[in-house]
């Protein structure tokens, strides 16, 4: 009865939480290790750590993540870091998402089963197919001999009690080996019990969704029965470790010592699992895929406005209608339409330039990974995503801000010359150097990056760039309204270049000395006059 009530309560909690942001602590080291160790060479692109940092990926992940299990969490992280080469993966996921949206009972039953894998230790399942196993020592042949010696001696002792002396001597040696082996057992004390639980969950899920891919899944699950009983020893050991105050089963521990059960079973299990690594990964992916699909369905449920993107063939086109940044409450929506051009964005300080660039980057990422955008509509080609938004000095390697910027943009240029289509996001190009070289170098680089079907979105304070690039880039800007003591931003994207400035006004609003403000304005006016004379 209590079990039934507990399940009923869990189902009610799952139903109530659908569409809502999770409240939990995130251990990104554990979440990301599945992705970091996986062979990702077959993907269209693996999003770099640099771009992840620029797009505030960890905060984005916490918003997007509505998974139930740790396995699903690892798979969602991996999916968001890897762009596929075609739409097949997105279409397969989309079918699952829509099914879970329509069939609430199926979704709740699936989530209930996935709750069996919410323990942080479930993150270690991936170790069993992504890492090398412990190998038995060269002297391992001694272990079964000692075990067999005690078996025979114990039997013979019923007829000749003096054989108990042999049992005692051998047991002393076995005791040393037993506790030497404990270190090996502890390496798998978390992963193997969770593996058993994962297989049990997978078998139950397969009864709910029998048409699941791959088609050989039932055969893979059946094969695990051959090794499941041997792995039960890890369940017992794990239970003891989970509650150090509990009284251990002394008799069973003694049996394991006398007959060296643990090292014999451990290395036999590892040997069998070695041949099942691919199968374990298949089951892991099966569970992770279902959980990710439910997570996407839950995300969409909680959004006021979203769309599925339109992914076109190769063309220099990116359109977004009422696009927003998902991490900003009451974000002002903006729209863009780039056709055979890129965007050069000017704007006052704090007006929203960088946020808008990030908004487009995040929506491109989610479009190509989870088929979901935070917009009324979003159209884009399949492209790779690169950014140079948040750059800092690399003090450990004695590299300046400017040098870091140079290296980052050089990597972009290396990609820009290839046939693959790219989206380049840049904020304040070469702001680590002097004005003349910043403008001249920036113009040359932006022209280079804009070649072919590449799309560039760049923000700048250098209005000179708008004159140099107005034939290659669509000019847009953000601006503000200024009163005596306030500056109000509407965060709306506007066509054309910025014609107003607010930097000195902000100094004045923050009560800088009057003589500083006066001198700054006089110098600015003089520089503007010189610039106009040179232009004429």
pLDDT in tens, 166-196: 989 999 999 999 999 988 888 888 899 999 9
**Confidence band, pLDDT 50/70/90 cuts, at residue 391:** low
Structure confidence at residue 319 (pLDDT): 97
- Are the CB atoms for 39 and 265 separated by under 8 Å? no
Res 512: pLDDT: 82
Torsion (CA) 15, 16, 20, 26 in degrees, nearest 10: -80
Confidence class of residue 385 from pLDDT cuts 50, 70 and 90? very high
Dihedrals φ, ψ of 88, to 5°?
Answer: -60, -45
The pLDDT value given to residue 527? 67
Which one is predicted more confidently, 397 or 61? Answer: 61
User: How high is the pLDDT of residue 530?
Assistant: 66
**Pairing, β 310-312 against β 422-427:** unpaired
Q: What mean pLDDT comes out for the span 258-283? A: 91
Between residues 273 and 402, the one the model is more confident about: 273
Q: Are 455 and 423 in contact (CB under 8 A)?
A: yes
pLDDT-based confidence at 284, cuts 50/70/90?
A: very high
* Mean pLDDT, the chain, integer: 87
Q: What is the mean pLDDT of residues 362-369?
A: 98
Which pLDDT does position 476 carry in this prediction?
93
Q: Buried b vs exposed e over 193-204: b needs ≥16 C-beta within 10 Å? A: bbbbbbbbbbbe
pLDDT at 394: 47
pLDDT of amino acid 529: 67
* The predicted structure's pLDDT at residue 393: 44
Q: Calculate what percentage of the chain has a pLDDT beyond 70.
A: 90
Q: pLDDT digit string (tens) for 498-509?
A: 776 677 777 777
* Cα 369 to Cα 365: distance, rounded to the nearest angstrom: 6
Tell me the pTM.
0.90
Class of residue 486 by CB neighbours under 10 A (exposed 0-12, middle 13-18, buried 19+)? exposed
- The share of the chain scoring above pLDDT 90, in percent, equals 55
- Rounded Cα distance between 375 and 508, Å, is 38
- pLDDT for 210: 83
The band of 436, judged by pLDDT with boundaries at 50, 70 and 90, is: confident
Mean pLDDT for 35-48 is 94
Predicted local confidence at residue 517, as pLDDT: 75
pLDDT tens-digit readout, 441-452: 889 999 999 999
Res. 1: pLDDT tops 70: no
Residue 467, SS3 per DSSP: helix
- Write down the pLDDT at residue 350: 78
Question: How does residue 398 score in pLDDT terms, banded at 50, 70 and 90?
Answer: very low
Rounded CA-CA distance 396/59 in Å is 26
What pLDDT score was predicted for residue 483? 67
pLDDT of residue 287: 97
- Dump pLDDT digits (tens) for 77-121: 999 999 999 899 999 999 999 999 999 999 999 999 999 999 999
Instruction: Assign 344 a pLDDT band (cuts: 50, 70, 90).
Output: very high
420, pLDDT greater than 80: yes
372 has a pLDDT exceeding 60: yes
Strands (E), 399-513: 422-427, 455-460, 473-478, 480-482, 487-489, 494-495
Q: pLDDT confidence of 243, banded at 50, 70, 90? A: very low
Q: What angle do CA 47, 52, 58 make, to 5 degrees?
A: 125
3-state secondary structure of 325: coil
pLDDT at 232: 66
**What is the tens place of the pLDDT at every residue in 189-242?**
889 999 999 999 999 999 998 877 787 888 888 888 777 766 766 655 554 444
Segment holding 26, helix H or strand E: none
Name, in order, each residue with C-beta under 8 angstroms of 536's C-beta and a sequence gap of 6 or more. none
Largest CA distance in the chain: 117
């Amino acid at each position: 009865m209590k079990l039934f009530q507990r399940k009923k309560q869990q189902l009610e909690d799952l139903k109530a939480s659908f569409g809502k942001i999770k409240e939990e602590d995130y251990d990104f080291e554990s979440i990301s290790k599945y992705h970091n160790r996986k062979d990702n060479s077959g993907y269209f692109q693996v999003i770099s750590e640099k771009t992840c940092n620029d797009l505030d990926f960890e905060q984005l992940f916490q918003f997007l993540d509505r998974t139930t299990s740790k396995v699903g969490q690892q798979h969602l992280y991996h999916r968001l870091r890897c762009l596929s080469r075609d739409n097949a993966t997105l279409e397969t996921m989309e079918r699952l998402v829509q099914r879970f949206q329509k069939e609430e009972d199926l979704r709740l039953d699936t989530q209930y089963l996935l709750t069996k894998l919410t323990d942080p230790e479930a993150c270690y399942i991936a170790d069993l197919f992504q890492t090398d196993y412990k190998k038995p020592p060269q002297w391992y042949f001694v272990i079964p001999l000692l075990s067999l010696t005690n078996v025979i001696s114990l039997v013979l002792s019923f007829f000749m009690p003096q054989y108990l002396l042999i049992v005692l001597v051998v047991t002393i040696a076995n005791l040393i080996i037993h506790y030497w082996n404990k270190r090996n057992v502890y390496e798998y004390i978390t992963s193997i019990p969770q593996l058993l639980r994962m297989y049990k969950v997978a078998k139950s899920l397969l009864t709910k969704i029998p048409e699941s891919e791959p088609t050989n899944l039932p055969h893979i699950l059946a094969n695990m029965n051959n090794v499941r009983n041997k792995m039960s020893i890890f369940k017992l050991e794990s239970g003891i470790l989970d509650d150090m105050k509990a009284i251990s089963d002394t008799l069973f521990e003694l049996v394991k010592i006398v007959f060296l059960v643990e090292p014999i079973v451990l290395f036999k299990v590892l040997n069998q699992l070695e041949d099942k690594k691919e199968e374990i990964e298949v089951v892991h992916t099966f569970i992770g895929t279902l959980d990710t699909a439910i997570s996407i369905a839950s995300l969409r449920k909680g959004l006021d406005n979203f769309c599925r993107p339109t992914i076109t063939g190769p063309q220099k086109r990116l359109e977004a209608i009422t696009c927003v940044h998902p991490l900003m409450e009451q974000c002002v929506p903006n729209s863009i339409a780039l056709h055979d051009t890129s965007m050069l964005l000017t704007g006052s300080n704090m007006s929203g330039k960088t946020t808008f660039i990030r908004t487009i980057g995040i929506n491109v990422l989610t479009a190509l990974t989870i088929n979901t955008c935070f917009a009324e509509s979003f159209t884009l080609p399949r492209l790779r995503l690169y950014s140079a938004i948040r750059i800092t000095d690399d003090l450990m390697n004695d590299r300046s801000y400017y040098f870091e910027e140079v290296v980052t943009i050089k990597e972009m240029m290396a990609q820009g010359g290839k046939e693959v289509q790219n989206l380049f996001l840049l904020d304040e190009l070469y702001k680590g150097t002097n004005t003349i070289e910043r403008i001249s170098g920036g113009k040359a680089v932006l022209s280079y990056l804009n070649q072919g079907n590449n799309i560039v979105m760049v923000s700048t304070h250098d209005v000179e760039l708008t004159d140099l690039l107005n034939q290659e880039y669509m000019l847009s800007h953000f601006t503000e309204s200024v009163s005596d003591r306030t500056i109000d931003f509407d965060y709306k994207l506007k066509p054309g270049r910025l014609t107003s400035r607010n930097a000195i006004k902000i100094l004045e609003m923050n009560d800088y000395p009057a003589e500083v403000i006066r001198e700054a304005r006089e110098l600015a006016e003089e520089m503007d006059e010189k610039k106009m004379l040179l232009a004429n």
